[in-house]
């Protein structure tokens, strides 16, 4: 059985607190976010790359994404901030 594809998601919690969760779907990301943070999830958006703060570490590699709110909308990380160096 092939393992499901993991993506990073930007979770917005009540109070406009954001965090990154790795999961296989938006629904699973919302569940993980609620469990790991103990807060009400108000929004889930797929991220092009992991971002900080990360609540779990299922997607390998550093947290490339510097502006997750913008990148989740755009669907990609711009060259301006997609490098962790």
| 20 versus 30: smaller Cβ distance to Zn ion | 20
**Residue 12 vs residues 1, 34, 42, 68: alpha-carbon distances, Å:** 32, 10, 6, 11
Using the rule CB under 5 A, give the single segment among 1-9, 10-18, 20-28, 58-66 that binds Zn ion: 58-66
Smallest distance from the beta carbon of 66 to Zn ion, in angstroms? 6
- Residue 21, phi then psi, degrees to nearest 5: -130, 135
Neighbouring CB atoms inside 10 A of 22's CB total 20
Using the rule CB under 5 A, give the single segment among 2-10, 16-24, 32-40, 77-85 that binds Zn ion: 77-85
Q: Under the rule (CB under 5 A), what is the footprint of Zn ion?
A: 65, 71, 77
């Amino acid at each position: 059985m092939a393992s499901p594809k993991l993506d990073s998601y930007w979770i917005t919690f009540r109070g406009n607190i954001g965090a990154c969760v790795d999961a296989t779907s938006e629904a699973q990301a919302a569940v993980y976010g609620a469990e790991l943070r103990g807060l009400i999830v108000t929004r889930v958006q797929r991220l092009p790359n992991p971002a900080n703060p990360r609540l779990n570490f299922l997607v390998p590699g550093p947290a490339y994404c510097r502006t997750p709110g913008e990148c989740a909308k755009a669907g990609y990380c711009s060259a301006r901030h997609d490098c962790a160096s």
